[in-house]
Chains A and B, each alone.
Chain A
């Protein structure tokens, strides 16, 4: 990790997420906040490691309690003039949108870059195969899309410059295959100060108060700003045309899809012109129009939904009505892009031969992830199974290692959505049916968004049994600290928080004490109001 601070010039093999960190360091980042989520988790881990000890000077870092709080912390730092980086996975963006949208209106003061990592094919995600792209035109926030680690570093630096020039927050969007891709990256000088960071908030209600009628003026200012950025980006080399000898067919692509496109052109021995977009928003419309003007066909190589394709369709109406626009007709909308998908698509539209290798495989055993041997959650499972008939109880799950409760042989999960939702949805089911229900929630997840749901269940009087699995760390994403984790010194106790929420049936216990846990579960299942068990036992990997 310390080698990310290397002052030696030259090339170093970096992971996409490491390159993002190095880019921020080279840009002179002063404030970083995040909530862990894969495929963005390493960004927080790296800054956490770098800011502990003597290297911490000149840079502030925190793991915030959730992504919205991370965003707001970063906004406060930017308003105080600091160069700020905030990082999260795609679902984190959903959590912080309430703050992000008005932030784009007010604009940044200190340069602000937001990293959002998508996970096509849901390698490390439950919930949905979320695509961050539509936030761009909805929120009117510039979105950069690097293809590889070198671009991760370069685009983060460019993002800070753009943010500084236009006083606007900028998103750098990655995906799993970009964030977890490695290649040799050119290191450049870092602009790091060794002094303690100190910004200054200068009162400016015109900028920071989003009340009407001013807020509508702000919207107009933002629309003008985006137009100025669009004009500026028309000349940017981040949106570049790579010439080809074919004059009838062109390709427009970006992000990871660009790499597969290059691979496909080499594989099929083709020379087609390629427009490689570094920006998804705002799009260089004039450049795109000039590019597609003379073609008969254009292939849009993009992962997931056809957002770019629709934009090209719109622009083609202005310059080339007869243009055949191919994209999702040849490339699936679900699942991550793969090189062979582009091979086939390109072969189809150019008439080249590409034989898909025959897959004759009949054996393909799947090994699902499992709770570690010795994980304290096994004791929770055992006690619950002893205390109740699993057939007669509804089990609410959500995001954390305990989402593995849904896998055989445990089979203790009847719904699974986002963080905090096991309690929220459980409350609704209880109100709607009165059926017996146990909602599981992790310690980090409880602080992330479980508390408002618990208060709601008390306020609106339902009676789920909530089991808070306190393993003293944010385990699934790589053991990051949280407000009551083993190495934090907040003095906060989950039991006190739960009691303060108005819950009367509360018990803190060690799940290894099966007798006590079984008895408590049985007891609490019969209560008329909300009950909470806090099952305390650290994750095997927590170092005390």
Chain B
């Protein structure tokens, strides 16, 4: 379903969005991708939100890189890759998506207080209205089983995107970026996460 097409295309711009819930490590993914993109010689712009939204609310960040990037926001419909750290939150990416968009979504549904949680089928059906390229990955469970924590699910999905070739970044540069960006305390865990996605 996911196609390996970006490596060959002339990279004018690559538009990526990460959606999730405050505390899921979205900013770490943003920092790794932007560092790797810069090291590969691309221009980059990112946008994130701080403040109250972090307290268990929906969070979304945007990362854009390419030959020359002006806007920190992805224009409507122009996203190439959406990483969803929670299935219901992945729906936030729809506004930015089109038929070209790859959805890489963590198999995880965190209920919203006082609301009936959506089912995975409902989420997929909704996402399919914009793109057929949807992959639900049990990142949370894999990380928990193999690494003992699911806090790195975002880094796992990012690494998976790199190995699958759906993000135009080289594996070496991403690994180097992880080493540059992640604090010493969490570095080993993040490198293991990266290696885990290779298999």
Whether B72 contacts A181 by the Cβ 8 Å rule is yes
Decide if A434 is an interface residue (CB 8 Å cutoff).
no
- A contact residues around B30 at 8 Å (CB): 182
Whether A13 contacts B51 by the Cβ 8 Å rule is no
Considering the chains assembled together, what is the distance between the CA atoms of A256 and B110 in angstroms? 34
Decide if B52 is an interface residue (CB 8 Å cutoff).
yes
Whether A13 contacts B34 by the Cβ 8 Å rule is yes
Q: Which of the candidate stretches B113-121, B138-146, B158-166, B185-193 sits at the interface with the other chain?
A: B113-121
Q: Which of the candidate stretches A134-142, A221-229, A338-346 sits at the interface with the other chain?
A: A338-346
Decide if B73 is an interface residue (CB 8 Å cutoff).
yes
Q: Would you give the shortest CB distance from A522 to chain B, in whole angstroms?
A: 29
Decide if B130 is an interface residue (CB 8 Å cutoff).
yes
Considering the chains assembled together, what is the distance between the CA atoms of A365 and B115 in angstroms? 9
Residue of B nearest to A356 (CB): B76
Considering the chains assembled together, what is the distance between the CA atoms of A176 and B62 in angstroms? 14
- B contact residues around A262 at 8 Å (CB): 70-71
A124-B52 in contact given A148-B45, A367-B89 (Cβ < 8 Å): yes
Whether A408 contacts B71 by the Cβ 8 Å rule is no
Q: Would you give the shortest CB distance from B96 to chain A, in whole angstroms?
A: 9
Question: How big is chain B's contact interface, by range?
Answer: 35 or more
Q: Would you give the shortest CB distance from A221 to chain B, in whole angstroms?
A: 40
The number of residues on chain A lying at the interface, defined by a beta carbon within 8 Å of a beta carbon of chain B, is 50
Q: Which of the candidate stretches A36-44, A160-168, A294-302, A530-538 sits at the interface with the other chain?
A: A36-44
Residue of A nearest to B126 (CB): A363
Whether B70 contacts A13 by the Cβ 8 Å rule is no
Residue of A nearest to B56 (CB): A370
Whether B122 contacts A363 by the Cβ 8 Å rule is yes
Considering the chains assembled together, what is the distance between the CA atoms of A542 and B50 in angstroms? 19
Decide if B25 is an interface residue (CB 8 Å cutoff).
no
Whether B58 contacts A367 by the Cβ 8 Å rule is yes
Decide if A330 is an interface residue (CB 8 Å cutoff).
no
Whether A343 contacts B49 by the Cβ 8 Å rule is no
A357-B98 in contact given A367-B89, A369-B53 (Cβ < 8 Å): yes
Whether A372 contacts B56 by the Cβ 8 Å rule is yes
A339-B47 in contact given A360-B130, A362-B126, A367-B89 (Cβ < 8 Å): no
Considering the chains assembled together, what is the distance between the CA atoms of A260 and B70 in angstroms? 7
Whether B91 contacts A363 by the Cβ 8 Å rule is yes
Task: Specify which of A182, A368, A408 is in contact with B34 (CB 8 Å cutoff).
Answer: A182
Decide if A448 is an interface residue (CB 8 Å cutoff).
no
Whether A372 contacts B50 by the Cβ 8 Å rule is no
Of the A-B pairs whose beta carbons lie under 8 Å apart in the complex, a sample of 6, sorted by A's number, is A182-B47, A260-B71, A360-B130, A367-B57, A369-B55, A401-B52
Interface residues of chain A, those whose CB is within 8 Å of chain B, are 11, 13, 38-39, 41-42, 123-124, 148, 176-177, 180-184, 256, 259-260, 262-263, 266-267, 338-340, 343, 356-357, 359-372, 401, 404, 408-409, 476-478
